[in-house]
Amino acid sequence: MKKTTLKYSLTFFFVASCFLAVNAQYTNVINSNKPGFSESPYSVGTGIYQFESNLFYRDMSIEPTFSQPQSLGIDLLFRTSFFLEKLEFSTQLSYQRDKVAFNNVFTSSEFTSGLSNATIGAKYLVFQQEFTDKNKEIRSWKKRTAFDKKRLIPSVAVYAGFNTNFLGDLHKASNLSPKLGVLLQNDLSNDFNVITNFYYDKMGTDAAEFSYIITATYSFSDRWSTFFENQGVFKKERKDTNIGTGIAYLLTTNLQVNASARGMFEGNSKGYYASLGVSYRINRHRDSYIELDDNGNPIEESPEDEFNKKKKNFFGRIFSIFKKKDASEKGTEVKTKKKKKRRGFFGLFKKKKETELEKIEREIKELEKKIKKDSN
């Protein structure tokens, strides 16, 4: 078992370190995965530190001998990107208080609290679908309003992560386990998209499961959006499903609030799930761009510009000490040569042109001498 886990670990870090392409994923407004369970294939972009939370309540009927009829907790998801625009790192935590019921001859229950999920992972956008700009089509209304068939081909990302073992007693596993996934998104229009996720979770354990999530999202306006979602989880002993809907409102470009509700069907038990959430991001993103001249050609940087960029980091500052010293020495040498050329032999006898200030000072001194002479 340990060898298998080590194998998946090495595979994950190898895959995560092999992606070198760069493409902008940053958006002007926050791009949150909440309140749904699915995940977009797009990264938040470099320089973004995003926090997504959901306060949830889950209530299920008591059918089996041992069950969790009620749960109250909070989901926390942290997302960021350090190196590449297409590569995102995430940490997901779920803390909940569960009511554990024993349904036998007599029904009894007790409460327990702790982490139910602690997953660390990363995703990379393998393929991003580009669409034709129909606004430039002015000759034909039919072509301008026709459906772009490229929208049927989704953007694709791969996900790899680990379920850690820092969990409460009720949810504790024997050891950490890998989680792999494929994330798809079809932007069927500017306001409507469909996200599809496939996951193989808790690999190599007795609790291994395969799941899918399909989420359809529609934006009413720049601030309001809604979603409909279906999730299916296939386990060894049973299949769990849920159907949900929700709404999200954009308060500011970096702050979103949301709410959701869903029906839960787990084996012979059924119930409901409700949540309220907030998503917030700290925006430190800086766009990388190429300067173009009037003809649209890239402008090459001068040695001075390149030197100023180097000064922005630690090693650049050390380099600048020697650079400045070298530049000052060269400047002094140039000035000395110029002076020698200007003066020459006749330059020694050439009267230096005085400034206005020097002229006034000279006249004052002459006036003082005259006054002193007259007084004597």
CA distance 81 to 86: 8
pLDDT at residue 167 tops 70: yes
CATH superfamily of 2-283: monomeric porin ompg (2.40.160.40)
Q: How open is the CA angle 262-265-271, to the nearest 5 degrees? A: 60
Q: Residue 321 has what pLDDT?
A: 47
Q: What pLDDT digit, counting tens, does each position of 176-220 carry?
A: 899 999 999 999 998 999 999 999 999 988 889 999 999 999 999
pLDDT at residue 68 tops 60: yes
Lowest mean pLDDT among 150-154, 256-260, 276-280, 369-373: 369-373
Name the band, by pLDDT with cuts 50, 70 and 90, for residue 292.
low
Q: What percent of the chain has pLDDT over 70?
A: 70
DSSP 299-315: PPPPHHHHHHHHTTSHH
Name the band, by pLDDT with cuts 50, 70 and 90, for residue 365.
confident
Q: Where are the domains of the chain?
A: 2-283, 310-375
Q: Is the pTM higher than 0.85?
A: no
Phi/psi class of residue 229: alpha, beta or left (left: φ > 0; alpha: ψ in -120 to 50)? Answer: beta
Lowest mean pLDDT among 37-51, 89-103, 248-262: 89-103
Rounded to an integer, the average pLDDT of 141-167 is 89
pLDDT at residue 364 tops 90: no
Task: Report the candidate in 52, 56, 98, 96 with the shortest Cα–Cα distance to residue 274.
Answer: 56
Residues 6+ apart with CB under 8 A from 44: 25, 26, 31, 50, 79, 80, 81, 88, 281
